[in-house]
Amino acid sequence: MDSQPTPREPGAGRPLAILLSSYNGARFIAEQIESIRRQTWREWTLRVRDDGSSDETVRIVEALARVDSRIVLHRDHRGNLGPAQSFGVLMQAALDLGAEYVAFADQDDVWQADKVESQLNLIRARESALGTNAPLLVHSDLAVVDETLRPIHPSFLALQGLGRDRDMPLRLLLTQNFVAGCTTLINRALLRVALPLPEVVMHDWWLALCAAALGEIRRSPRATVLYRQHGANTAGSRWWLLASFDAALHPIRWWRSSFAAFAAAVIQACHLARRVERESPGAGSLAAVREYCRAFAAGGTAMGRLRAVRRHRVQPLSVLGYPLFYYARVLLWPGSGPGPSPVDR
C-alpha cells in the first residue's frame, strides 16, 4: 500500500514533483531552476538532492528555496550515490509524499516554458484512455545548445540516430536507451512499479523499460528542453559519426567499454524480467524478456542467444553497422553470464 503524506512534509499535497539530483552544478543550476519557476503550470514541488557537491551548489539551492517555498532541498546522510541511485532516493520520496506525477530535471539545462503543462496534458489524455493504473511515460526530443544557449542542432535524437522508437519500443530498449530523463514525465502507476530501484544503468532507461513492458511510452511532438553542452556533462551529445571515428582510432578500448555497457544492459533486462513478473505475470512482454534473459544465463549457447534476439527482434538502431557489432557481442558472450539469474519457471 502506498504511504500517505503527512501535512508537515514539504511538497505534500502538490500533484507534481519535479526531481533534480545535483553534483557540482553551481555554474548553471540557478538558470535551470529559474526556467522551472517560469513554467506555465504552477502547481509543482521541486525536490533537489545534492549528491556530494564540493562547490556552491547547495548554497544556491538553499537561497532559491528561501524565496520560493515550492523548492525543497532533500537532505539525507547517504553521501555520493551516483545519478541513478540519487534519483532513486528522490523517486521514493515522491512516492511517499503522494505525488501523482513526477518529472525529472538535470542541473544544467533550460526548460521551455510550457514543458510541464504540455506533457501533463498528454499523459492525462492517455490516462483517460487507458486508466490511471496504466504505467505511462511521456518524453520529448531536446534542442542541443552551447554554454550560452546558442543553437547547435534542433534535435538530439536525430544527432544520435534515435529518431525511430514508436514501433515496439521494448525491443530497442533492451539494448539501447532513447529516453532522456531530463525530458521525462511519468505517472504514479509507473513510479510505483519502478520502485525500489535495482542496480540499473540509469534511472531513465529503467523507467522507459518498465513503461514499455507494462504500459506505454509517448513522445511529445517537439523538443521541450534546451540541452546545454559544456564539456562536463554526465552524458553529452555526440555526433554518431564522431563516436564511430573514435571507435576506429581506439578499437580495443571501444570494444571493451561497449562490451561492458552491453553486459550492464543484460543485467538490467534480468531485473526487468523479475519486475514484470512481480507486477503483471500475465503481461505479454514477460515471455520475451524472460527468454532474452535466459539466453544469457550460465550454460546458454551462442546459437541459443542468437535465436532469442532474432526471434524478438532485439537490436540497436542501425547506424553504420552497429547491429553487426551487437550480434558479435551476443555470440561472444561468456558462458558464465554475469549478474542476476533470469526468472526461472
Domain ranges within the chain, ordered by starting residue: 16-228, 240-332
Angle between helices 322-332 and 302-311 (to 10 degrees): 140
Q: In this predicted structure, what is the pLDDT of residue 241? A: 58
Q: Which residues of the chain have pLDDT under 70?
A: 1-13, 163-167, 231-244, 318-322, 335-345
Q: In this predicted structure, what is the pLDDT of residue 109? A: 97
**Of 205, 18, 47, the residue nearest 119 (C-alpha):** 18
CATH 3.40.50.1820 assigned to domain 16-228? The reply is: no
Q: In this predicted structure, what is the pLDDT of residue 162? A: 75
> Which long-range contacts link 233-240 to residues 24+ away (Cβ below 8 Å)?
233/108, 234/83, 234/106, 235/202, 237/142, 237/144, 237/152, 237/153, 237/156, 237/159, 237/160, 238/159, 238/160, 239/159, 240/159, 240/160, 240/161, 240/319, 240/320
Cβ–Cβ < 8 Å for 344, 290: no
Cβ–Cβ < 8 Å for 119, 138: yes
